[in-house]
Structure 1
Amino acid sequence: MENVQPGDDVLWAESLKGDAEAFGLLYDRYRGRVFRHAYRLAGGRHDAEDVTAAAFFELWRRRERVRLIDGSILPWLLVTTTNTARNLQRSKVRHRRLLDAIPRRGEAEAQLDPAYSNHESSLNDEVAQALAVLKPLDLRLVSLVVFEELPLLAAAEALGISPGAAKVRMHRARQKMKAALPRSLRHAHSPALKGDPS
């Protein structure tokens, strides 16, 4: 006797009623196809696995809006996989740009005017020490807003955080830096310690 598998429409209807086994059958049926599609788009196994997981997560998260095409869930999954892979690539590009934008100590020193006085050099050291107290995300945010002069909204988008969170983080970062500076420099004219950008 032949084992006839139920169609996607039947399994999807059961999934919507909360049947985890039906959803698992859909996952088993299409995981390989989705992974191969993700691998072609993302170009690596690790990224393809992330994209595949995200596509099935979106399938469940957006289940009320999912449409079957000719009784199949696969077209929706493939479109979602394409969009997820594209978003991953954009995120990686933004991350690369961010890392490239953060000044490296050697590059910053190479650009210093040799005529700088010892006083200005010690000021730079003290500001570097104040920056060292920041968490990595806060340091990247301060670098983008203060040193690269990006608007706060653009920096927030590059870091993948909300504008509100970026504003709060900038405020807290300034407070931490002020506390880390010697008392004589806390009210100095330092752009990193000025008020929040608008």
Structure 2
Amino acid sequence: MSNDLDDEAATWVQACAGDGAAFASLFRYHQARVYRRALSLVSNAHDAQDVTAAAFFELWRKRRSVRLVDGTVMPWLLVATVNIARNHRRAAVRYRRVISSLPREETVNAESIAVANVETELLGVRLTEALGRVAAADAALLVLTVLEELSVSDAAAALGLKPGAARMRLHRARLRLQADLSDDHRRNILPIPEGEHA
């Protein structure tokens, strides 16, 4: 396309009539200048590309109401670029404020996460094994009261026990479980005496 403004005005009329090739010609002709203006208004090249694309999108979207100045769409594009860049900057500031207001968590390294996961897994295995060593009714009492948070009376009714008997069994089961878990822990941390092998 030449620099002749009459040509641009004619091309604009074609673009307004829905001619995509005419609009593409206008884009190619004005894109570099719009991009330079956008780059002067925003913080980086990527944002400038976004603003440029948005300006041309608005030109196409509002093509029925765009008025040429001296036979060119450039003034309209520059005004659109300024407005879009300002909105873009305001949105970026709001986004940064929201991000900076979010609570920060301490960064946990992968090793400590892995260790915590292994310890949790081992505790679950030890607990399952310890529950396997108590009577079935006592294990059920522990699960219903501790994990499912039922009252002792409700757990007793579910197992067909009197509440007093359920309390006594639960107390003994807790003591047994605590002893088993403590023995397991000691076995894991105490060295094996000489002459003893696993």
The TM-score normalised by the length of structure 2 is 0.50
Matches of 2:34 and 2:62 in 1, distance apart? 17
2:59 is equivalent to residue 59 of structure 1: yes
Give 1:104 deviation, angstroms.
1.7
Q: Secondary structure at the match of 1:7?
A: helix
Larger radius of gyration: 2
Q: Secondary structure at the match of 1:67?
A: coil
Q: Name 1:142's counterpart in structure 2.
A: none
Look up the equivalent residue of 1:70 and give its one-letter code: D
Matches of 1:93 and 1:20 in 2, distance apart? 36
2:33 is equivalent to residue 17 of structure 1: no
Matches within 5 A, 1:26-175: 26-106=26-106
Look up the equivalent residue of 2:59 and give its one-letter code: L
Which 5+ residue runs of structure 1 have no aligned equivalent? Answer: 107-181, 185-198
Matches of 1:34 and 1:65 in 2, distance apart? 20
Look up the equivalent residue of 1:11 and give its one-letter code: T
Look up the equivalent residue of 1:24 and give its one-letter code: A
Matches of 2:91 and 2:34 in 1, distance apart? 20
Q: Secondary structure at the match of 2:72?
A: coil
Give 1:183 deviation, angstroms.
9.2
Give 1:22 deviation, angstroms.
0.7
The TM-score normalised by the length of structure 1 is 0.50
Say whether the 8 Å CA contact 2:5–2:72 is kept in structure 1. Answer: no
Aligned length in residues: 109
CA deviations on 1:155-198 (whole Å, 9 max, x unpaired) are: xxxxxxxxxxxxxxxxxxxxxxxxxxx998xxxxxxxxxxxxxx
Distance 1:53 1:183, change over 3 A: farther
Identity of aligned residues (%): 46
Q: Secondary structure at the match of 1:70?
A: coil
Greater than 6 Å deviation, 4+ residue runs: 2-5
Distance 1:101 1:49, change over 3 A: same
CA deviations on 1:105-162 (whole Å, 9 max, x unpaired) are: 34xxxxxxxxxxxxxxxxxxxxxxxxxxxxxxxxxxxxxxxxxxxxxxxxxxxxxxxx
Give 1:44 deviation, angstroms.
1.4
CA deviations on 1:5-61 (whole Å, 9 max, x unpaired) are: 852211111011111111011001100000000011113111110000000000001
Matches of 1:86 and 1:3 in 2, distance apart? 30
Matches of 1:4 and 1:56 in 2, distance apart? 21
Which 5+ residue runs of structure 2 have no aligned equivalent? Answer: 107-146, 150-198
Distance 1:4 1:95, change over 3 A: closer
Matches of 1:62 and 1:183 in 2, distance apart? 63
Say whether the 8 Å CA contact 2:51–2:81 is kept in structure 1. Answer: yes
